[in-house]
C-alpha cells in the first residue's frame, strides 16, 4: 500500500472499513461543487439539449470515468489547476455554439438556467437540514463558490441560508488543500479539527483535510446516493428518505 493509501486508510475513507475507531463528528464541512451541487459531468445530455448541441457531443466525464477525460488526468497530475480545467471546458463549450471566450460563470449561467435551487442536490438539502435539526452545524469550504456562480445567483440559493459558516477562496485567496483554508473553516464552525467531518470530491482536498486533522469522507460521483447515506451514517443520522 502506498503512502497515500495509508494516509486515507487511517482516516476511515477506505470503503472497506478501518480498524481505527472514529468518534461521531460534531460538525459537517462540505465542498460545494459536485457535493452540494450537481456536477456538470452528470448533466451532459441536459446541457446538449439546452445549447442545441448534437447528443453525445460532450464526452468527458472527469472522475466518473477518467479514461474519457485527458484534461482531467492532467489536473490530477497537478499539471493544471481545477480552475484551469473548468476555464478550458467553458471555452470549449462556448466555442461549440459559436461564442468565444466563455468564462466558467457564463457556462454555468447558460447551462443551468436561472433557478439557483435547481443546481442543488435535493438529498443534500435534506441531509443538511437533518443535521441542523440534530444540533450539528454545517459549513461550506469552497475554492470558487462566488467566482463561478456570482453573488446574484447565490443570493437566491436556499441551502446557503442553512450554513453556519461559508469559507470561499474567492474572497480569502487561500485554496484547498492549503492547511490554512481548513483552519479558517474549523474556527468559523467553532469546533476542533477532530470533531469536523469534511466532504469533498477532490482527493487532493481530502488528503489536505487529513493532514489538517479533520475526519474525512471522499465524495465519489460514481455512487451519489451511497455517499450521502455514508455521510448520514457517520453523523448518526437516519438515512431514510434522503434519496
Cell numbers that stand for 233 in this block: 451514517
Q: What angle, 0 to 180 degrees and rounded to 10, lies between the N-to-C axes of helices 104-111 and 44-51?
A: 80
**Predicted local distance difference test score (pLDDT) of residue 178:** 97
Is residue 20 predicted with pLDDT exceeding 80?
Answer: no
Phi, psi of 212 (to 5 degrees): -85, 0
**Predicted local distance difference test score (pLDDT) of residue 80:** 96
DSSP, collapsed to helix, strand or coil, labels residue 141 as: strand
Enumerate long-range contacts of 71-78, CB under 8 Å, 24 or more apart: 78/204
Q: Tens digit of pLDDT for each residue in 166-189? A: 999 999 999 999 999 999 999 999
Tell me which architecture the domain covering 3-37+120-234 has in CATH. 3-Layer(aba) Sandwich (3.40)
Q: b/e map of 126-161 (b: 16 or more CB within 10 Å)? A: bbbebbeeeebbbbbbbbbbbbbbeeebbeebebbe
Q: Which of 4-13, 90-99, 137-146, 194-203 has the weakest average pLDDT? A: 4-13
Residue 44, Cβ neighbours under 10 Å: how many?
18
Residue with cell 455521510: 231
Q: Tens digit of pLDDT for each residue in 47-79? A: 999 999 999 999 999 999 999 999 999 999 999
Band (pLDDT 50/70/90 cuts) for residue 21 is low
CB 127 within 8 A of CB 228: yes
- Rounded distance, CA 147 to CA 152, Å? 11
Q: Does 177 sit behind a cis peptide bond, omega within 30 degrees of 0 on the bond before it?
A: yes
CB 232 within 8 A of CB 238: yes
- Rounded distance, CA 180 to CA 218, Å? 20
CB 93 within 8 A of CB 102: yes
**Predicted local distance difference test score (pLDDT) of residue 6:** 45
Q: Which DSSP state fits 238? A: -
Rounded to two decimals, the pTM is 0.90
Band (pLDDT 50/70/90 cuts) for residue 15 is very low
Is residue 19 predicted with pLDDT exceeding 90?
Answer: no
Q: Tens digit of pLDDT for each residue in 138-159? A: 999 999 999 999 999 999 999 9
Mean pLDDT value of segment 212-229 = 97
What secondary structure, in 3-state letters, does 166-212 show?
Answer: EEEHHHHCCCCCCHHHHHHHHHHHCCCHHHEEEEECCHHHHHHHHHC
Amino acid at each position: 500500500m502506498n503512502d497515500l493509501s495509508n494516509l486515507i486508510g487511517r482516516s476511515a475513507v477506505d470503503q472497506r472499513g478501518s480498524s481505527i475507531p472514529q468518534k461521531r463528528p460534531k460538525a459537517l464541512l462540505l465542498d460545494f461543487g459536485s457535493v452540494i451541487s450537481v456536477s456538470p459531468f452528470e448533466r451532459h445530455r441536459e446541457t446538449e439539449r439546452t445549447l442545441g448541441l448534437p447528443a453525445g457531443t460532450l464526452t468527458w466525464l472527469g472522475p466518473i470515468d477518467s479514461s474519457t477525460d485527458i484534461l482531467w488526468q492532467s489536473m490530477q497530475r497537478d499539471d493544471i489547476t481545477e480552475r484551469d480545467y473548468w476555464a478550458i471546458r467553458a471555452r470549449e463549450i462556448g466555442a461549440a455554439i459559436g461564442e468565444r471566450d466563455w468564462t466558467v460563470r457564463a457556462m454555468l449561467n447558460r447551462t443551468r438556467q436561472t433557478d439557483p435551487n435547481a443546481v442543488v442536490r435535493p438529498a443534500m438539502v435534506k441531509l443538511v437540514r437533518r443535521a441542523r435539526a440534530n444540533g450539528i452545524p454545517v459549513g461550506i469550504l469552497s475554492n470558487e463558490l462566488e467566482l463561478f456562480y456570482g453573488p446574484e445567483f447565490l443570493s437566491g440559493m436556499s441551502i446557503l441560508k442553512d450554513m453556519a459558516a461559508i469559507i470561499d477562496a474567492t474572497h480569502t485567496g487561500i485554496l484547498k488543500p492549503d492547511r490554512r483554508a481548513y483552519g479558517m473553516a474549523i474556527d468559523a464552525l467553532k469546533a476542533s479539527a477532530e470533531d469536523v467531518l469534511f466532504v469533498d470530491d477532490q482527493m487532493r482536498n481530502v488528503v489536505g483535510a487529513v493532514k489538517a486533522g479533520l475526519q474525512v469522507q471522499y465524495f465519489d460521483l460514481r455512487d451519489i446516493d451511497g455517499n450521502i447515506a455514508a455521510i448520514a451514517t457517520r453523523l448518526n443520522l437516519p438515512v431514510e428518505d434522503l434519496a
